[in-house]
Chain A
Amino acid sequence: MLLTIKNLSVYYGVIQALKKINFSVDRGEIVALIGANGAGKTTTLHTISGLIDPKEGEILFEGKDISHIPGHRRVAMGIAQVPEGRRVFADMTVEDNLRMGAYTRKDRSGYSDTLNMVFDRFPRLKERRGQLSGTLSGGEQQMLAMGRALMSKPDILLLDEPSMGLSPIMVNEVFDIIRQVHEDGTTVLLVEQNAKKALNIADRAYVLETGSVTVTGDAEELLNNDSIRKAYLGE
């Protein structure tokens, strides 16, 4: 397993946000984490990236417990995140944002190769490389946030609500890109409220309900599961 979460508990003050959750992501998979608002999806990703410290439990990355390693060092180990709400550096140009994504990289030639790769994947970013990121549309900012995360050449890409606030056409475009990024060999852990879209591209999925994993299975299975259809697919 590339990433294994073991008995992970997270608290905000006295409120328990994650209750001993367990799940894993194998190399080459797309795994979806679905659930309602406040179920703990974002908390899970924040804990994996080190923005929040867990109270107990382990985060095993390539077999090694990283839960006590400072978050910024996890990026160099191969974990990149596209945060909820995109959080691009609005006062920096598109290209400077991408440069920040490659902050942990030391190799100059590798940097320009990856930059070209990202520009191939997101031609719009190349057109707007000199533009301030704050002036981009929501969809373009989502592309930038994804391109920025890819600049670190991650083994695993954590995506938090990539479709949030985007037009239906843009949502399709974003999911196409996720599929392509995955085909290029990046493992993906996807958090989504749009459960249907997520289950359609994922291999496996976990359902989070108020801090606990309640259902797990192949994505296709879950798509046909009656209670899931009722609760998350609006049918």
Chain B
Amino acid sequence: MSFLTTFVNGLSLGSIYAIIALGYTMVYGIAKMLNFAHGDFIMVGCYIIFLFSSNLGLPPFISILIAVVLCTVLGITTERVAYRPLRNAASPLAVLITAIGVSYFLENLALLIFGADTKSFSSVITWSGLSLFNGELQIQGITIVTIAVSLLILLVLQLFVHKTKEGQAMLAVSQDRGAAMLMGIDVNKTITLTFAIGSALAAVAGALLASAYPSLTPYTGAMPGIKAFVAAVLGGIGSIPGAMIGGLVLGIIEILSRTYISSQLADAIVFGILVVVLLVKPTGILGKKIQEKV
């Protein structure tokens, strides 16, 4: 495989991380919590697509649409039932631990329903892709679709946040929840909307992830979820463009290390980056300095 092909593959994996990281970062920015069950929403999305597409034979696009809708409902329900009651808890750890609980709950629920054996997922993208420069650059269809979808999502999200009233409300809530309420913004509704968007993105990420790496277990979402969290921290948690940059950088580093250094060491390198970022620039690439003005 040429370097260029490897690089493009990294870009593709990074795009998936970026889509997941967007959900992490938006929920963190607006609800001020780390939803550690976010990775498992991806897994739920994958199983839904698997069920409707591979088992019931629905067209992939319809299955993805169903997964997006059901994951959105799952995200809203989780926030309403598990997180909202703890929003004003004395310790911020309460909601964090609950999120880990939700994560285990979803993984074990999937284990119960679908069993522990690996399901083989048939890609939702059937296009075989491109071969350029006399085969120097081989790009699979799923790779191109993944990169295009993530760019589209970033663009739409940026427009949504900066050009719509709901998006502006999100920005206001992320900066000062109390002041946002004093503007007449429904903070609960804004947080619900954020979870809805994050969870819908998780379903999309699930479709792309399972198409690129077509084996499905109840723990499929856990590792990409954690890596996307690293990506969000790397880019500057709370920042939408930061999540995108962090995701891409992380994906490229992971694939390059896998190819040129060692496939066993790749994950260690990825998490090593988290340690280095936290030491050198804790606010991430695009993160803002926290300062208070009196």
Would you list which residues of chain B between 210 and 259 have a CB under 8 Å from chain A?
Answer: none
B181 within 8 Å of A by Cβ? yes
| Interfacial chain B residues near A70, Cβ < 8 Å | 186
| Interfacial chain B residues near A149, Cβ < 8 Å | 182
**Bound CA–CA A92/B185 (angstroms):** 16
| Interfacial chain B residues near A165, Cβ < 8 Å | 294
Instruction: Assess the B184–A75 pair: CB atoms within 8 A.
Output: yes
Instruction: Assess the A134–B293 pair: CB atoms within 8 A.
Output: yes
Would you list which residues of chain A between 111 and 166 have a CB under 8 Å from chain B?
Answer: 134, 138, 141, 148-149, 152, 165
Known: A89-B175, A91-B171, A96-B168. A49 touches B182 (CB 8 A): yes
Instruction: Assess the A103–B181 pair: CB atoms within 8 A.
Output: no
Report, nearest first, the 4 A-B pairs whose CB atoms are least far apart.
Answer: A75-B184, A104-B184, A87-B179, A103-B183
| Interfacial chain A residues near B175, Cβ < 8 Å | 89-92
**Bound CA–CA A101/B181 (angstroms):** 10
The interface residues of chain B, by DSSP majority, are classed as helix
| Interfacial chain B residues near A10, Cβ < 8 Å | none
A1 within 8 Å of B by Cβ? no
**Bound CA–CA A112/B293 (angstroms):** 30
Q: Write 25 A-B pairs (CB below 8 A) sorted by A numbering.
A: A49-B182, A50-B181, A51-B181, A51-B182, A71-B182, A72-B181, A72-B187, A73-B184, A75-B182, A83-B178, A83-B179, A87-B176, A89-B171, A89-B172, A89-B175, A89-B179, A91-B175, A91-B288, A99-B168, A100-B168, A100-B172, A100-B180, A103-B168, A138-B293, A152-B184
B169 within 8 Å of A by Cβ? yes
Instruction: Assess the B178–A51 pair: CB atoms within 8 A.
Output: yes
**Bound CA–CA A101/B175 (angstroms):** 15
A46 CB to closest chain B CB (Å) equals 8
| Interfacial chain A residues near B181, Cβ < 8 Å | 49-51, 71-72
A84 CB to closest chain B CB (Å) equals 10
Closest to A49 in B: B182
| Interfacial chain A residues near B172, Cβ < 8 Å | 89, 92, 100, 103
Closest to A52 in B: B178
Instruction: Assess the A80–B182 pair: CB atoms within 8 A.
Output: yes
Known: A51-B178, A87-B176, A103-B165. A76 touches B184 (CB 8 A): yes
Closest to B165 in A: A103
Interface centre among B181, B184, B186 (most CB of A within 10 A): B184
**Bound CA–CA A138/B187 (angstroms):** 27
**Bound CA–CA A148/B171 (angstroms):** 16
B21 CB to closest chain A CB (Å) equals 20
Q: Of A76, A87, A134, which is within 8 A of B178 by CB?
A: A87
A81 within 8 Å of B by Cβ? yes
A85 within 8 Å of B by Cβ? yes
**Bound CA–CA A100/B176 (angstroms):** 12
A146 CB to closest chain B CB (Å) equals 13
Q: Which residues of chain A have a CB within 8 Å of any CB of chain B?
A: 49-51, 70-73, 75-76, 80-81, 83, 85, 87-92, 96, 99-101, 103-104, 134, 138, 141, 148-149, 152, 165
Q: Of A75, A101, A103, which is within 8 A of B169 by CB?
A: A103
| Interfacial chain A residues near B165, Cβ < 8 Å | 103
| Interfacial chain A residues near B180, Cβ < 8 Å | 100
| Interfacial chain A residues near B179, Cβ < 8 Å | 83, 87-89
A186 CB to closest chain B CB (Å) equals 16
| Interfacial chain A residues near B186, Cβ < 8 Å | 70, 72
| Interfacial chain B residues near A76, Cβ < 8 Å | 184
A131 CB to closest chain B CB (Å) equals 14
Instruction: Assess the B183–A92 pair: CB atoms within 8 A.
Output: no
| Interfacial chain A residues near B168, Cβ < 8 Å | 96, 99-100, 103
**Bound CA–CA A88/B254 (angstroms):** 41
Closest to A151 in B: B183
Closest to B188 in A: A70
| Interfacial chain B residues near A72, Cβ < 8 Å | 181, 183-187
| Interfacial chain B residues near A141, Cβ < 8 Å | 293
**Bound CA–CA A149/B183 (angstroms):** 8
Q: Of B178, B187, B293, which is within 8 A of A90 by CB?
A: B293
B170 CB to closest chain A CB (Å) equals 11
Interface centre among A89, A100, A101 (most CB of B within 10 A): A100
B211 CB to closest chain A CB (Å) equals 37
| Interfacial chain A residues near B182, Cβ < 8 Å | 49, 51, 71, 75, 80-81, 83, 87, 149
| Interfacial chain A residues near B169, Cβ < 8 Å | 103
A89 CB to closest chain B CB (Å) equals 5
Interface centre among B172, B182, B183 (most CB of A within 10 A): B182
Would you list which residues of chain B between 257 and 294 have a CB under 8 Å from chain A?
Answer: 288, 293-294
A93 CB to closest chain B CB (Å) equals 11
**Bound CA–CA A72/B185 (angstroms):** 6
Closest to B90 in A: A13
**Bound CA–CA A22/B100 (angstroms):** 46
Q: Of A73, A80, A92, which is within 8 A of B171 by CB?
A: A92
